[in-house]
Chain A
Amino acid sequence: KAGVTQTPRYLIKTRGQQVTLSCSPISGHRSVSWYQQTPGQGLQFLFEYFSETQRNKGNFPGRFSGRQFSNSRSEMNVSTLELGDSALYLCASSLPEGSIGPTQYFGPGTRLTVL
């Protein structure tokens, strides 16, 4: 099976712009989670989608949003970019409900640099 894919891998934006990142989960996985990783804050949970619905949300401002499509692919959007949004954004997918032991499988990440 193909792993989790994320596009683009690298992105450079300027302050005030918006950005959309894409994540394709492993085939058959219906849950997609997003994380922000920075040297100072480590791995921080953004949100999780399951069957096109946001189930969990981390402590991030409303500028961070996401959605999930019927094929389980997910996008996250960051509006009005700030310098502090520079980070590695990781997407993870996991097996359907009822699986024993939720296990998240990660993509390679999108490196966002805000200038």
Chain B
Amino acid sequence: AQSVTQLGSHVSVSEGALVLLRCNYSSSVPPYLFWYVQYPNQGLQLLLKYTTGATLVKGINGFEAEFKKSETSFHLTKPSAHMSDAAEYFCAVSASNNDMRFGAGTRLTVKP
């Protein structure tokens, strides 16, 4: 069975600062990994995904994540935070079609 742990339920950064949201996974088979973002009272929007191939994955809105098998990590980064990045972010893992497990989420606050 696979699972995801997101380190830090709340992260606060200043506008223009680096964003780093941490995600560690557990999976008995090669995983598919995802990051989603959720704005208040909305559904989840896919930011990026790792399936196979290049371990550095680029997503929308300037976000990227790196799959590190040795560390079982898939941390999300953005070089420069913008006020519009304030939202909740979810890491998810799937080892087979649609058996997707989500982390508890990290709420990102961006200070002006």
Contacts and interface: CB of A to CB of B under 8 A. Distances in A.
B36 A106 contact: yes
B42 A33 contact: no
B104 A42 contact: yes
Contacts of B99: 56
Given A100-B52, A103-B46, A109-B42, A48 B98 contact: yes
Interface in B12-58: 32, 34, 36, 41-46, 49, 51-52
B41 to A, nearest CB: 7
Contacts of B104: 42
Interface residues on A, range: 20 to 34
Contacts of B32: 101-102
Interface in A18-73: 31, 33, 42-43, 45, 48, 50, 55-56
Contacts of B90: 43
A52 to B, nearest CB: 15
B97 interface: yes
Contact of B49 (A31, A90, A101): A101
B74 interface: no
Main DSSP-derived SS at the A contact region: strand
A106 B102 contact: no
A107 B42 CA distance: 8
* Closest 9 pairs (CB-CB, A-B): A101-B51, A106-B43, A106-B44, A43-B102, A102-B97, A108-B43, A101-B32, A42-B104, A109-B43
11 contacts: A6-B43, A31-B97, A33-B100, A43-B105, A102-B32, A102-B96, A102-B98, A105-B46, A106-B36, A107-B43, A109-B43
Interface of B: 32, 34, 36, 41-46, 49, 51-52, 90, 94, 96-102, 104-105
Interface of A: 4, 6, 31, 33, 42-43, 45, 48, 50, 55-56, 88, 90, 92, 94, 97, 99-109, 111
